[in-house]
Copies of this chain bind each other. A is one copy, B any other.
């Protein structure tokens, strides 16, 4: 039998009671605080508080989820169980209903304080496409790729919530045949459709976290758009990796879907050959069947299937800590671009437009090799939830604003380059 909430939930809503994602919201003149999304509403956890027998109520007045995330898995379970009870048992309706706030009246904030941000590169299809585009004469995957989930640290301070405008970055870029680099607005501004994992429970320096302990440490999941300036990145990234080509903005969705809500989305990941080293093996698979949509100005241009990712989030966690690196509450790691095997499943314009050689055609007749000023990119995703109900992630959206204070538009810069 399908569990239902007494709160009205429209059909195909991202937020049935099987989801209950956490976020930070505010209304005019009120401080940011924690809530969960249910249908068209936000349940104000900070005010619902102890009256309704909600444990850890004091954590929810904070302007980030970090205090609650730091409590650990037993606390996450207890609160979710109580919320499910409060929202499904009609007997609680009178007590709880006053704390429901219409979602369209709230402002959503960055839901957690980002400690360290790590970005992986875990899609074989994406890594192979990138290899074919940039290193056509070499094997598409580097020799280490199937032995470890490649990752690097990104800039935590420029992780922003959905809706934050993205200013086109300026920087150095050099055409292959140019003698010296030029400077100006990026002319190859791109997206990366990714899935992000938020750490709640910290770990001790010097003690690796095993893949089996994934669910003890990871609180929840968000959608990520890892904006990328391909021209800046191409010139800077050898030998120490991406830096300014990425660090201007990384957008995340405002609702953190609890890992516990994704039990029904677990699937076996693709077979791994060669078999990874023991610290990367897990008895219980952590593949996740998330169906992502990438829309440009409202038109869906790609549907990347997260279930095709080669490395799982549990393996990423084990790898990230195998050297003894500690975890902090608020650590955040993303999967890298999600691309499936089909051309319409690619998670970046670099791949969709094959580095500008086959620009994406939009319904309005225009084409996109890369993003134009004013473009809005929106990622959405859904997953199987409990009771056969589909749950959603909401969206992560961002609009490109023109470069600031630089002579010439991106279009002119393209010609100069």
Contacts and interface: CB of A to CB of B under 8 A. Distances in A.
A180 B239 contact: no
Interface stretch (A24-32, A141-149, A367-375): A141-149
A240 B121 contact: yes
Counting every copy of the chain, the complex holds 2
A6 interface: no
A324 B156 CA distance: 14
A160 B205 CA distance: 10
A372 to B, nearest CB: 18
Nearest to A120: B240
Most buried by B among A152, A235, A326: A152
A235 B324 CA distance: 18
A323 B150 contact: no
Contact of A155 (B116, B171, B405): B116
Interface string A101-140: 0000000000000011110010000000000000000000
B152 A277 contact: no
Chain A interface category by residue count: 35 or more
A319 B244 contact: yes
A279 B172 CA distance: 10
Contacts of A237: 239-241
B167 A324 contact: yes
Interface in A302-336: 319-320, 322-328, 331
A278 interface: yes
Contacts of A208: 170, 405
A84 interface: no
B240 A169 contact: no
Interface string A397-410: 00001001100000
A49 interface: no
B236 A171 contact: no
Closest CB pairs A-B (n = 5)? A241-B241, A169-B323, A153-B153, A167-B206, A152-B240
